[in-house]
Amino acid sequence: MKNILVLCTGNSCRSQIAQGYLQKFAGNEARVYSAGIETHGVNPKAIQVMAEDHIDLSAHTSNHVDEYLHIPFDYVITVCDNANEACPFFPGKVERFHENFPDPAKAHGSDDEVMNEFRRVREMIKIYSANFVANHINKLS
């Protein structure tokens, strides 16, 4: 079983969404964690947009990366440039990956426009997560 950490700035949106999809696609082949360089609380819109795709994030918490330094991660995925630059050193044979997704929490406009941005970013993360699992987890089985 592989250990995967998804890291972003506040562990409120992008890393939470990625954790949900990575765990869904990897199933029992991986344990997926998410954390932030800071903790901002899980964004209610991230919970809502994932519920639309039948993934429940309602019990997720916003965690600081330091809480997971003891876990032997196989993969660390940073999902924003800030986290990539501030990512701590993880000992061992850790493979790092980076993809800078837009922050849907910074979207402006009507409620519908903001939710549409969350959906757009969700779909980007879903595709990335499916490809990551296909290329790094499932091919190991």
As annotated, the active-site residues are: 8, 80, 87
Q: What CA–CA distance (Å, rounded) separates 50 from 110? A: 19
Secondary structure of residue 15 in the 3-state scheme:
helix
Between CA 138 and CA 41 the distance in angstroms is 31
How are beta strands 30-36 and 75-78 bridged, if at all? unpaired
